[in-house]
């Protein structure tokens, strides 16, 4: 299942990569000829898009390789690394655009609005195609989401650039060009924040936002014959792959194997946690069943 998703993602990412790379060359040449910061800003963003899409393709390709040797989870987390790299690229290019826009607001240069408008319209068409491709990819992949955000940001940026080119043609006010560049930078910062936040949460092994560890602990403690739960950890390996581990003590004489199976089924049913590692053992000495749940280790009923 995961392999089919990754293969489909890889093909769509490759298609988007070809479209964006061709547009990047056209826009870079046009931006130099028109002396347009908006076009050069978009071209700079496209450079980061091409790198981001190439990294995303490589990550999607590597993610399907089986686990071997010391790589016990394979290369699945490369997709999260790709998403974080995409976020950093968006941030860096956005800062570069802000500095250029401020300089041009202070000392505006003459911009050929007709060239800006024409290239922006071509960019809108190309980015619409690339966005449509990536929108069909797996919505559970932060890697694809990062590439999608790059392209979607470009689409919005081209729309802003087209408006700026039209306004320059009508009014002759060249400062519309750096203003459009600032709007592009704002979109980049928004996209970078989301990608860096999500990828950092996964790297720091924070619990998924839709799963509360307290609720998981209480659910485990509610199972009959469970006396104590501690060392409970919930984290995400990669998008769509949440994992839980816990040490569970049960009443003396209880069937550890049967209880573990019931707990695994409960975790999958209530929280979608299908990947669990539960160490189930008999408690030593007398135990009290029915205590309230406490978050800190040890967690008791």
Structure tokens at 201: 């949460």
Q: Which range of residues forms the domain containing residue 157?
A: 2-203
pLDDT at 287: 57
| CA neighbor of 164 nearest in space, from 37, 282, 1 | 37
Which residues, other chains included, contact 134 with Cβ-Cβ below 8 Å and sequence gap of 6+? 12, 13, 16, 144, 147, 148, 151
Write the pLDDT tens digit of every residue in 223-254: 888 888 888 999 988 777 899 999 998 888 88
Note the pTM of the prediction, 2 decimals: 0.71
| Same-domain status, 97 and 47 | yes
Query: Of 203, 227, 262, which one is at a domain's C-terminal end?
Result: 203
Indicate whether 62 and 173 sit together in one domain: yes
> The domain that contains 184 carries what CATH number?
1.20.1510.10
Q: What is the pLDDT of residues 126-174, one digit of tens each?
A: 888 888 877 765 555 677 777 787 787 778 777 887 888 788 888 888 7
The answer to whether residues 55 and 169 belong to one domain is yes
Q: What is the pLDDT of residues 98-116, one digit of tens each?
A: 888 888 888 776 767 777 7
Last residue of a domain, one of 179, 203, 227: 203
Q: How far apart are CA 202 and CA 185, in angstroms?
A: 26
pLDDT at position 301 is 53
Q: Looking at the structure, tell me whether residues 56 and 17 fall in a common domain.
A: yes
């Amino acid at each position: 299942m995961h392999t089919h998703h990754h293969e489909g993602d890889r093909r769509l990412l490759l298609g988007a990569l070809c479209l964006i790379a061709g547009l990047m060359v056209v826009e870079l040449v046009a931006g130099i000829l028109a002396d347009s910061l908006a076009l050069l800003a978009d071209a700079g963003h496209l450079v980061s898009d091409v790198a981001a899409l190439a990294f995303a393709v490589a990550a999607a390709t590597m993610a399907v390789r089986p686990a071997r040797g010391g790589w016990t989870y394979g290369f699945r987390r490369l997709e999260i690394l790709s998403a974080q790299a995409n976020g950093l690229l968006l941030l860096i290019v956005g800062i570069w655009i802000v500095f250029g826009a401020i300089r041009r607001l202070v000392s505006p240069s003459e911009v050929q609005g007709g060239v800006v408008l024409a290239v922006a319209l071509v960019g809108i068409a190309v980015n619409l195609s690339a966005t449509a491709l990536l929108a069909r990819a797996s919505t559970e992949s932060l890697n694809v989401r990062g590439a999608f955000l790059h392209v979607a940001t470009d689409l919005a940026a081209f729309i802003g650039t087209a408006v700026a080119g039209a306004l320059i043609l009508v009014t002759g006010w060249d400062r519309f060009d750096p203003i459009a560049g600032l709007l592009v930078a704002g979109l980049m910062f928004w996209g970078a924040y989301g990608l860096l936040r999500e990828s950092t949460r996964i790297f720091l092994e924070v619990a998924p936002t839709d799963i509360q560890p307290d609720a998981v602990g209480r659910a485990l403690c509610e199972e009959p014959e469970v006396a104590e739960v501690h060392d409970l950890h919930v984290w995400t390996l990669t998008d769509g792959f949440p994992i839980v581990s816990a040490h569970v003590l049960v009443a003396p004489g209880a069937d550890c194997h049967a209880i573990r199976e019931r707990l695994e089924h409960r975790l999958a049913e209530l929280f979608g946690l299908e990947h669990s590692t539960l160490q189930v053992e008999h408690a030593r000495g007398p135990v009290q069943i029915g205590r309230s749940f406490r978050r800190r280790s040890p967690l008791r009923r």
